[in-house]
Structure 1
């Protein structure tokens, strides 16, 4: 749900062939705007403020020592997801820095989290046609 803005922007980009056919420009648009667009969409749906803040700030780098809020949880979950299944193209904007995860989890715990979520991730991808 935190990357809802990506889906919306991609659906709108389909109406603009020059943009849709330019992977560099499309990727830049998605990276720059997906969190704000997701925030706006969820706000229009009446989502709670805690969800809106978490979606708006899920890409904002910060130091986290312990998970204290939904914003922290979503930020860390996004970093974990970016290690294995990011929609971002590293050739266009570099690798997403996930090193902060090492301050919260040891390697075994992180591997276990990823393994436990793998079935759900595959199910969601299948449901979305991927």
Structure 2
């Protein structure tokens, strides 16, 4: 089976909802649903978070990052961290654990390296999305961060299946975009219960449509994706120009510029991306 046929096969399975997830993903999905219950108390949320060590560690790390700890008062336990970040951020962090778990069974060193790069990319896009939402587009920052976390979930699923199909990733970005990104990504997002507005923003990213300055969640996500200092390994093309910077797509925002805003928010972006990684 060549790579195009393999991509089409996986895409067809995703479109039918016939997706194979690791057992730990199902467990974290149940945890995420429990946290989304409006009757869930902070003590119960803290107990649930502590059942997943990676989620517990990331919750404390995010709570102590510059974005949430403006006065330098570090928290040292999960309950205090949950109180500081809130349940919506907690839901986004649970999603980050799920995304990482999708590729948790990868043993091939080359695929593992791609998975690690894809997560570093996702973490930077999530952090940049939150800052751009707060300072530029004025869409909901927590939703923007969540969109950044899950925007490459189809890519993680593809990497988790790559060992079954030798040569699957040899075609480069064009084959992934044409035959896999939309169908596989949409199928996995639906399986994970990603809300429609976030789905719409990610589809706008796939289509490459945006306004500058950004106005919508999709605009925000696409700009963050373009500005990420770590690119997606699934989108690399031979001879591509490489990562863009604020200087190459700068524009005025209020009385400042995008470049100035990103300079002022650099500590927030570094802290959030590091805590997610």
Q: With structure 2 as the length reference, what TM-score do the two structures score?
A: 0.37
1:95 maps to which residue? 241
Q: Tell me, what secondary structure is at the counterpart of 1:76? A: helix
Distance 1:85 1:68, change over 3 A: same
Distance 1:76 1:114, change over 3 A: farther
Larger radius of gyration: 2
Distance 1:114 1:58, change over 3 A: farther
Distance 1:6 1:113, change over 3 A: farther
1:86 maps to which residue? 231
CA distance in 2, matches of 1:117, 1:124: 11
1:40, CA displacement in angstroms? 2.1
CA distance in 2, matches of 1:122, 1:97: 19
CA distance in 2, matches of 1:68, 1:75: 11
Alignment check: 8 A CA contact 1:35 1:57 kept: no
Could you list the runs of 5+ residues in structure 2 that have no partner in the other structure? 1-149
Distance 1:63 1:16, change over 3 A: closer
Q: How many pairs are equivalent?
A: 120
1:50 aligns with 2:216: no
Distance 1:101 1:43, change over 3 A: farther
Q: Tell me, what secondary structure is at the counterpart of 2:194? A: coil
**Which of 134, 156, 181 is the matching residue for 1:7?**
156
1:17 aligns with 2:166: yes
Distance 1:76 1:50, change over 3 A: same
Alignment check: 8 A CA contact 1:54 1:71 kept: yes
Q: With structure 1 as the length reference, what TM-score do the two structures score?
A: 0.69
CA distance in 1, matches of 2:217, 2:205: 10
